Amino acid sequence: MKNPESQITRYRRDRNSSWWVRVSDRIAKQVITVGGIGTILVVMLVVFVLLGNVVPMFRANSLATLGTISVASQFSVASQVDAPEASDGSVPVACGVDEYAELLWVLHSTCSITVHSIETGKLLSTHSPKDAPKDAPKDEGSGRSLPSIVCCSVADNDASMLAGCSDGSVRPITLSIVVEFVRAAELNDSISEALKSGVALDDGTVYRSMPSGLVRKQTVSDIIFHKPIDISTRPITSVDWRTPQSASSFDESQTWTWGASDGESIVLGTVDNQVNSFTGSITQQSKNWKASYPTGVSESKLIALMVGSRSEHIESLDSAGKIIVWTPTSDGKLVSGISHTSLAGTESKALIGTALLGRSTFMIGSKSGHIEGVALTSTDAGQELLSIHRFAGEGGAVQGLAASPEGRLVAAAFESGKGAVYYVPTNRKLLEWTLDANHDSVADGHVFFSANAACVGSLNDKQVKLWRLQIPFPEASIGSFFGRIWYEGYPAPQHVWQSSTGNVQGEYKFGFMPLIFGTLKATFYSMLIGAPIALMAAIFGSEFMNSRWRARVKPIIELMASVPSVVLGFIGALVLAPILRDNLMMVLLSVATVLFLFVFTAHLWLVIPSPTAIRLRYFRLPILFALIPLGVAIANRSSGTVEAAIFGGDVVQWLSNRNGSGWAGWFCLALMPVSILVAWVVSGPLGPYVQAYARTMSSFRFSLVNLGIFGLSTLAVLLIAALSAWAVAAMGWDPRGSVLGPYQERNALLVGAILGFAIIPLIYTISEDALQSVPQHLRSASLACGASTWQTTIRVVVPTAMSGLFSALMIGFGRAVGETMVVLMAAGNTPVMDINPMNGYRTLSATLATELPEAARGSTHFHALFLAAFLLFCFTMVANTFAEIVRMRFRKRAFQL
């Protein structure tokens, strides 16, 4: 009889144990639930952070009215300084706005400059040349007024301009806007009282309270009307003005470059300003080049000029839309060179022209309302002028056209009374608004940008209207990110990524296609090299390798995953790249010889009698390892002969089009597809005949026949590849320049080998586990039916484990897509779209690593990099989703087994 106390004790112990198990299960359930929900939330948070930095780029732009300033009666204020004696016939010619949108200066035809407060519209000061009497001719005395200004060109920074006068002279004018920040306690009582309303005016100065407690003080000072430069006896009709920035903050010496025309001649001039560092005096030296403009060409007249970006030439535009490039010579003349007739001239009539930022593109406004950009472009034939941009306007002829000093924006005023701002590289309209309800009041006006492009304005003979722009990301659009854009200097629209330039006038290019292409290129070559090796190694280790060997080899392969990618990149860039460069033919031939030896040895193994093969099965892996150095040694000995016979001596020089024909390249490219084709023919259409023939002979005799079939197949591959290459080369097609190209030391093959090494452990481990998870009874049933180990592996084990094998490939794909350091150090980091495996590339991840730390926060470049990160996330998400769908499909099929 059992002891009652022991039963009670056992019951209590079991009850306590079950209670602890229930508590443990609850805790585990809660932890797993929290972990799963937390993972989902973290992934969603990453998506929200990425989208939060991407979506703002695509928000609508805005425009707000800043003010209207009357300039019709500018001389009626008593606070004028050095005002002329009369204001009859005064017409505004040009104007500018400071970076804070506080001051407006206006240049009038009477050679005077008035300064206005934008907020109040009041006239602050008036400035005129102090040497007016000296400008009068000797025979008329000094009572004559200054020559009137008929045209003007303002520098990008609004700090200088060139005025074209009615007497055939041009006059440089410089001004400076002084900005100071002072404490409110330093101001007098009247200014402090006026600042309670936000802004105060005193003695030509604008004061504004800042949130920091300081007061911003702005005034226009040092307006200098430089000595006129006589170039003609006829009135000047068009001018252009270019002033480069000073070499340093300690040297104010500058060289001004200008162009002018009187309608019949063109003058390109320079003014070299040398500033004495001790006295501050300025010494000016001028030099001019002149040419007569060809008259009688379609009865057209010259309407605009553009000095080149490097001041090495000047371009002229006439009303027929013809642009001519003029180059200075050593004898003081201008020689006409390249010319181009724009569509604005052939389809309509050119009315106005202006230089786009960077002075490489001439923007033309036509009578039909179209706006066109013509740029000097490098082509195969040399330098050519091409119309690279063209877009329709907002109704009627183009009456005004202005280029932004901060980006590739143009503002246009149309005959319909509409105004619009366009981003030129993508031909995209960013803003549209009504300049004035009365169309006549703007018919003779023009538009302009402020010095920092934060404001846009229109000017006519009565008033200046100003609007504040909100265009934070003009470069951002689906077309600019993923479409072909015709950039300056390119012969055709292209996908280009160039996020930095040498100066502020450079053209930013945010085309993602080269980065996407580079990412896919890196993934393709790494998977092409790493995936077959990993899958074959997993199949061999799971189905053919002895369990004792497998227990030793698998941990070693998994240990490969612990090597940091930066170490792999370092080894690839500094060790393997020079070796591959100096022994390219030997390396390529080694791959072919090792693969050939593997297949040839497999056929030789079938010749060995079955009892002997069973006893020697433990030596299969050492034999495979021994074949690798044997293949490399054979390739090393024969590479020189093969290289001389096929590539004419040097494969690197052959890739650079220095020797040989295209036959060698087509032959090498055809070997792989022809090998697959021959293998399919032998195992597919010819398979039943071979099997029927095998039943009539012993296994030993068939193994010899099989070895002969392999030899004939090898000869067939070489013969078909050679004939195919000869046929393609006979048609004049050369793979160099398209499929192949010049060899670069850091290229796709190098990165594919290194990155393939990195993904092999992942694919191998998961694939081997998937193969091992196949039920043993399936293998036993297949072997019992008479199938060989190889047949069982290919037709039973692999199809059953296909879901796991595909998951392994997708994990390797994700690892290759997101790799950073290997491609950053060994891929050359060049964003080019080139399928040439001997060339480099740049990936999305490498771009993020190199550019995100240096990107200006809030810029288009900064937000575009977040878009690159979002694209990288989408790649992995799509790949994982596709892998899950395929995995579930294979799992359903395997479940039926």
- Mean pLDDT over 326-350 rounds to 88
pLDDT score for 806: 87
* Element holding 459 (H helix, E strand): strand 455-459
Token code pair at residue 7:
């039963």
Count Cα neighbours of 263 within 13 Å in the Cβ-side half-sphere: 14
The count of residues in the chain is 897
- CA angle, residues 425, 430, 436, in degrees to nearest 5: 125
Residue 600: what residue type?
F
C-alpha pair distances (Å), 614 with each of 542, 617, 618 = 18, 5, 8
Contact 184, 105 (CB under 8 A): no
Within 13 Å, how many C-alpha atoms sit on residue 566's CB side? 1
DSSP category for residue 740:
B
Distance CA 654, CA 721 (A): 19
pLDDT by residue (tens digit) across 354-371? 999 989 999 999 998 899
pLDDT recorded at residue 332 = 87
Q: What was the pLDDT predicted at 656? A: 84
Q: Is pLDDT at 516 greater than 90 in this prediction?
A: yes
Q: Is the pLDDT of residue 81 over 70?
A: no
Query: Residue 415 — pLDDT band, cuts 50, 70, 90?
Result: confident
Q: Tell whether the model's pLDDT for residue 441 goes beyond 50.
A: no
> How far is the C-alpha of 837 from the C-alpha of 856, rounded, in Å?
34
CA 131 to chain centroid, in Å, comes to: 53
**Structure tokens that stand for 254 in this block:** 């500058």
Per-residue model confidence (pLDDT) at position 431: 92
| Dist. CA 455–CA 319, nearest whole Å | 30
Give first-to-last CA distance, the chain, whole Å.
52
- Is the pLDDT reported for residue 532 higher than 70? yes
**Lookup: tokens for 411:** 């503002």
Looking at the predicted structure, is the pLDDT value of residue 791 above 90? no
pLDDT digits (tens, 9 = 90+) for 561-578: 888 888 988 898 888 889
Judged by phi (left if over 0) then psi (alpha if -120 to 50, else beta), residue 117 lies in beta
Lowest mean pLDDT among 86-90, 622-626, 753-757: 86-90
Beta strand 238-242 pairing with 254-261: antiparallel
Q: Is the predicted pLDDT of residue 75 greater than 50, yes or no? A: no
Q: So what's the pLDDT on residue 4? A: 54
* CA–CA dist 833, 848 (Å, integer): 18
CB 350 within 8 A of CB 340: no
How far is residue 411's CA from residue 419's CA, in Å, rounded to a whole number?
A: 7
Would the pLDDT of 275 be above 80?
no
pLDDT value of residue 280 = 64
DSSP-derived secondary structure for 588-601: HHHHHHHHHHHHHH
Average pLDDT over residues 516-525: 92
pLDDT in tens, 203-252: 889 999 888 888 999 998 888 888 889 988 899 999 999 887 544 444 45
Q: Which helix (H) or strand (E) holds 432?
A: strand 428-434
Give mean pLDDT, residues 172-191. 87
- Rounded-to-integer distance, Cα 369 and Cα 412, Å: 10
**629 CB contacts (<8 Å, ≥6 apart)?**
none
Distance CA 877, CA 726 (A): 44
Please state the rounded mean pLDDT for residues 609-635.
85
Res. 142: pLDDT tops 80: no
* Mean pLDDT for all residues in the chain: 84
Residues 821, 569 contacting (CB under 8 angstroms): yes
Q: Locate tokens 């991407």: which residue? A: 54
What local confidence, expressed as pLDDT, does residue 51 receive? 92
Per 3-state DSSP, the chain is made up of helix, strand and coil in percentages (nearest 5) of 45, 25, 30
Count the neighbouring beta carbons within 10 Å of the beta carbon of residue 672. Answer: 12
- Calculate ∠ Cα 462-465-470, nearest 5°: 170
Sign of CA dihedral 631, 636, 642, 646: positive
Query: How much of the chain, in percent, has pLDDT values that exceed 70?
Result: 90
CB 467 within 8 A of CB 457: yes
CA 453, 455, 456, 460 torsion-angle sign = negative
Q: Which pLDDT belongs to residue 517?
A: 94
Residue whose token pair is 């949130």: 211
For the ranges 619-623, 864-868, 893-897, the maximum mean pLDDT occurs at 864-868
Residues 6+ apart with CB under 8 A from 853: none
HEC assignment per residue over 309-331 = CCCCCEEEEECCCEEEEEEECCC
C-alpha to C-alpha distance for 603 and 600, rounded to whole angstroms: 5
Retrieve residue 851's tokens: 């550019």
733: three-class secondary structure by DSSP: coil
Contact 323, 340 (CB under 8 A): yes
